[in-house]
A = this chain, B = another copy of it.
Amino acid sequence: MTSFAVPFEVGAIRRVSCQLEFEVTTPAVLALQVAVASTAGDILGERLDVSVDGAQPAQPVSETATDRGGRIHVVHADPGRLAISYEASVRLTQEPPVPVATEDVVIDAEAIAALRQSRYCPSDAMAGFAAVELVDLERGPTLARSVAAWVFERLAYVPGSSDTLDTAVDTLLAGAGSCRDFSHLAITLCRALGVPARLVAVYAPGLSPMDFHAVVEARRGSGWEVLDPTRLAPRSSLTRIATGRDAADIAFATTLTGEVELLSSEVSTVIDGDLPADDHFTPVALA
C-alpha cells in the first residue's frame, strides 16, 4: 500500500531554490535556515550567495549544525539591502524506511524533547481540552494521523489570517490559519495526548502558491512519521530543511540582533517526473 500511495523517487533529482531580500537598518546578525538538511540525500550541487548592496559582507557566512541534519547559516550584515540566494540539487539515495509501529511510544531523548510544551505549542495548557475533544480517536500507532486528520477537517486554510505571535490556542479559537498554524495545532494536541511531535520546515513540490512549507513529525515506534495537516503537498516529495519544537526553531530567517525587515521572498522547488499521489494516511518517513 505504501508503494502505491506515496512512491519515493529514489534517484530522482530535486531542485530547490530561494531568493530573499531584506532591508537592514542597523548592523545585524541573521540566522538563516534555508539549506537542505545534511540528511536529505546526496547534495549534488549547492550554492548560497549573500550580498549587501551588491557586495559581499565583511564577515564571512558561517555554518552551524543543528538538530536532525539542520544547518544554520549565520550572516553578519551592515545596513543596506541584503540579498540571499540559495539553490541546491539533491538526489534521494534510498527511500527512508517507514518506522515500525509499536503499541507504546518509545521514550528516548528526542521523544522527551518532542513531548515538551513549547512557545507556539502550549500542550500543557491544552491537556484538558485534548482529552475530552478527542476522546473518540483511537489510541495507539494511528493516533497522530487521526489528530492530523481532525485538524485538516477542523481548520480553514487562510494564509495571512494569523500573525507571528499566534499559538495553537489562537489557531484553535480562530478556526483558521496557515501551514504553520495547522502544524502547531496538530503538534500541540499530539503532545497533550502523549505522542511526541515536532515541526519540520521543508521544500514542498506541488505547493501552490509556492512558499516554504511546514509539516509535522510524530513519533511512530522508535522512528518518526511525517504528517501534513494541510494536505497541500505529497509527503514523499518533501525535502527537509530544519527540525524543531515549533516555528521558533525553524524560521527560514531569524534576526538575532539588529533591525531587519523582510522585503520579499521567493521559493521554488521541482522534482523530476510527476508528483506522486498522497492519501495522507499511509505512513511516510522523511529523509
Which residues of A line the B interface, CB within 8 A? 29, 31, 64-66, 72, 74, 104-105, 107-109, 112, 115-119, 122, 124-129, 131-132, 154, 156, 163-165, 169, 172-176, 194, 248-249, 254, 256-257
Shortest distance between the CB of A178 and any CB in chain B (Å): 14
Contact in complex: A128, B66 (CB < 8 Å):
no
**What B residues does A131 contact at CB under 8 A?**
175
In whole angstroms, how far apart are the Cα atoms of A132 and B133 in the complex? 13
Shortest distance between the CB of A255 and any CB in chain B (Å): 9
* Smallest Cβ-Cβ distance to A27: which chain B residue: B104
In whole angstroms, how far apart are the Cα atoms of A124 and B256 in the complex? 11
Contact in complex: B256, A175 (CB < 8 Å):
no
In whole angstroms, how far apart are the Cα atoms of A175 and B248 in the complex? 21
Taking a contact as CB atoms closer than 8 A, the residue among B112, B169, B174 that contacts A72 in the complex is B112
Contact in complex: A173, B249 (CB < 8 Å):
no
* Known pairs A74-B107, A107-B256, A163-B163; A117 contacts B169 (CB<8 A): no
**What B residues does A257 contact at CB under 8 A?**
104-105, 194
In whole angstroms, how far apart are the Cα atoms of A65 and B109 in the complex? 7
* Known pairs A29-B107, A64-B109, A194-B257; A175 contacts B119 (CB<8 A): no
**What B residues does A174 contact at CB under 8 A?**
125, 128-129
Shortest distance between the CB of A204 and any CB in chain B (Å): 24
Centre residue among A64, A112, A154 by max chain B CB count within 10 A = A112
In whole angstroms, how far apart are the Cα atoms of A175 and B65 in the complex? 35
Contact in complex: B108, A64 (CB < 8 Å):
yes
Centre residue among A65, A107, A126, A128 by max chain B CB count within 10 A = A128
In whole angstroms, how far apart are the Cα atoms of A256 and B112 in the complex? 8
* Smallest Cβ-Cβ distance to A156: which chain B residue: B128
Contact in complex: B175, A116 (CB < 8 Å):
no
Contact in complex: A117, B248 (CB < 8 Å):
yes
Taking a contact as CB atoms closer than 8 A, the residue among B107, B112, B124, B194 that contacts A165 in the complex is B124
Shortest distance between the CB of A18 and any CB in chain B (Å): 20
In whole angstroms, how far apart are the Cα atoms of A125 and B122 in the complex? 15
**What B residues does A115 contact at CB under 8 A?**
254, 256
Contact in complex: B119, A122 (CB < 8 Å):
yes
Shortest distance between the CB of A57 and any CB in chain B (Å): 14
